[in-house]
Structure 1
């Protein structure tokens, strides 16, 4: 890091985490400073660290731990884990935590997801800005003494405890024998799935369970349809009851039915919300503004209170904390549970789907049909130079539309009785993202084409 005097971290420290390419943006020297700054900012006497399977992760995680110990914190290193495994450790041990992962990004990337004790998020407004400022200063001026005794480094395996905790949150006693294809994408689900599914009445058909941070088979991003093509084929080929796909750090879970058809994360959100509200009537359920209207519909039908938020896990977690919500779901397949420190866990979401299917007599497609009530466009991206002017043009075009209303909670949302669309700017690219939903596919197509004609003019 000797060539980084006065380093500018604006390209590395994002709104909610630290993420960049290795070693030009993030290396072990810098990770060591981040460890020290994390302890300095949180005042932690003890922290916990974990890492994914990327080739650079063990070295970065150890450097961070050394930096933290140098500021006097005792560090528990849990080694290879999923991101929700790190959240489990933070919640169980009541310690701030650091997870080394770049989630679904390509192999040359790595990063750090930070949390306070109890898996509480760390973002720009909750400590990340201060951490960045310290690292930038120390990279130029050197790391000052802390006045604290050197902390310890201790290894601890928490995978078994993690699995037991998740299994204790879902009643799986009525699950019939199932065959499930699981695509780990060479990510951390290759480690967590065998531990969690070991004693379930489930035949697992494994795909890409080898931990390999170079991702030799496909990107570990199941949100992109091309990355679940293999899973869909294997489900049909083996006659499986369902398929599951996890992203690289296994905090997101995607579901495929017995026909090999993808089940929308909005549908999964509605299914889980209905299950949880049965035991907790009157509770709040969080959903972001691009989830299907089926989600608030189902929440109300089951006696719950839906609360709509902006897109992004920091907004979901903030609302979870503010409202004491039972559950939260995003259309990106992040699922948040009050019983899991209000943090997101793809594996717990998977267990809820397994419990629901395992207690049903029919196939998954029939089970989820009741939650699939609208047609949707999916997210459509357009490169736009002047985002503000374009959004204003769309708003003006729909200003006099009969029965429609507009809000700007996150970008522009225009809503009517039988349809809605949201147009919002990307935080990192010159893109506008469009999502359209309506009662029927023809209306979706008409609205999509009308909005895109303005956006791409």
Structure 2
């Protein structure tokens, strides 16, 4: 069973349990067969991983059956974070498939795809997979594929350690919140060997997410880490999403650091290693990054929101680093793919080699007031976008490249449909808090006034 709505802009997400599921094991089998056809993998191999969601083993087995039935060989790495899957794809130089619904609620599961060396899947390929998976089952291959299990966790950890200068650090006290997600699997391998005092929260793998939802973009899901930092006098905290490809940072005061500012810090560091290099951000990353990159002599490229779009820009411009507002961080020396764990290691190294604190590192960066991401359920998205555009007409420059973005003098407003959920997302930034609040409230009143349109 497959409901067409599970095919999103960048991947697959849909409900798999309960009274009204959107896809199931039969659907996963069909997607596996379609993936092999679209990628031309008969007689060739790909790597498969899955997160800790309760439906993962069943869906992974079904996907493998569909793929092997069409003649593909499965390299099964088992439980893995998404960036661990990117690592395996890069190391083995084969396409990759990760069974995960990332930060979505427990009832969901999904699929993320990549080409060999963790390159992003083309949008046309995802459309083709959707069409084939919903069509008649294909005839089986003359020669079925095989499956073998490979453990890449230790090699993944060693690779990350190789990419970050971890010597010369003072001893830090570090909290990490796995949120019952895949960081509970990868963090002990990556952070455990370091000379730090490590305090883990919710490290047990549990796809029901009994402590808090696995989405650190929502402020309430950061409260446990903030409290732990203050309780233990920690230097910082790392907070991961469900599939552990995103990492939020909490400073020594228990305050959340904007992912845009983390992007600025890492961008500046990477430009020191690669003078004049290119940095990729998305449409709603803070303009603070623009100023830091310009001051460092780098070149800025703006992408649409979403990991496939950012990775495509990383490859197109041979960018040294990229960052999104949602705490996705992309590194050229990680095949241009996103890895929250590598970003976390860089922040530990920066703080550990400095004489100051995490908040000291941030204090020297440009300051803007930001609304954060505000979500609204809206039935008629085009009508609401048109209403917002009309209300702001003549007050700034507007474009529709990624939802609706209006850029004024010292401020911007972006309203865009989610790539993964049936929501309209509002982000606003301005030089001062009063201007930001006024713009935010104006846009939000239009959006929510049209929620029943």
Identify whether the pair has TM-score above 0.5, normalized to the shorter chain. yes
Matched, 1:30 2:22: no
Per-residue deviation at 1:225?
Answer: 0.9
- Tell me how far apart the structure 2 counterparts of residues 397 and 21 of structure 1 sit (CA, whole Å): 36
Q: CA RMSD in A?
A: 1.9
Per-residue deviation at 1:454?
Answer: 4.1
- Tell me how far apart the structure 2 counterparts of residues 268 and 101 of structure 1 sit (CA, whole Å): 25
| Residue number in structure 1 paired with 2:212 | 218
Superimposed CA distance per residue, residues 251-276 of structure 1 (whole angstroms, 9 cap, x where no aligned partner): 11011001111000101110110111
Per-residue deviation at 1:383?
Answer: 4.5
| Residue number in structure 2 paired with 1:339 | 333
Which of 36, 39, 51 is equivalent to 1:39?
Answer: 36
Q: Secondary structure at the match of 1:11?
A: helix
- C-alpha change, 1:298 and 1:72, in structure 2 (3 Å) is same
Which of 360, 364, 368 is equivalent to 1:370?
Answer: 364
| Residue number in structure 2 paired with 1:75 | 74
Contiguous gaps of at least 5 residues in structure 2: none
| Residue number in structure 2 paired with 1:169 | 163
Preserved contact between residue 387 and residue 430 of structure 1 (Cα < 8 Å): no
Per-residue deviation at 1:12?
Answer: 2.0
Segment drifting more, 253-262 vs 60-69: 60-69
| Residue number in structure 2 paired with 1:131 | 129
- Correspondence 1:216-295 to 2 at 5 A: 216-295=210-289
- Tell me how far apart the structure 1 counterparts of residues 3 and 424 of structure 2 sit (CA, whole Å): 26
Per-residue deviation at 1:372?
Answer: 4.7
Q: Secondary structure at the match of 2:37?
A: helix
- C-alpha change, 1:38 and 1:432, in structure 2 (3 Å) is closer
Superimposed CA distance per residue, residues 105-146 of structure 1 (whole angstroms, 9 cap, x where no aligned partner): 222211111111111222532x122222222223xxx43122
Q: Secondary structure at the match of 2:204?
A: coil
- Tell me how far apart the structure 2 counterparts of residues 425 and 187 of structure 1 sit (CA, whole Å): 26
- Correspondence 1:30-429 to 2 at 5 A: 30-44=27-41, 45-125=44-124, 127-138=125-136, 142-147=137-142, 149-401=143-395, 404-426=396-418
- Tell me how far apart the structure 2 counterparts of residues 91 and 194 of structure 1 sit (CA, whole Å): 22
Superimposed CA distance per residue, residues 161-186 of structure 1 (whole angstroms, 9 cap, x where no aligned partner): 00011111111112210000000011
Aligned pair count reads 444
- C-alpha change, 1:430 and 1:180, in structure 2 (3 Å) is closer
Q: Secondary structure at the match of 1:110?
A: strand
- Tell me how far apart the structure 2 counterparts of residues 363 and 197 of structure 1 sit (CA, whole Å): 19
- Tell me how far apart the structure 2 counterparts of residues 211 and 80 of structure 1 sit (CA, whole Å): 10
- In the superposition, the TM-score normalised over structure 1's length comes to 0.92
- Tell me how far apart the structure 1 counterparts of residues 128 and 311 of structure 2 sit (CA, whole Å): 20
Segment drifting more, 328-337 vs 104-113: 104-113
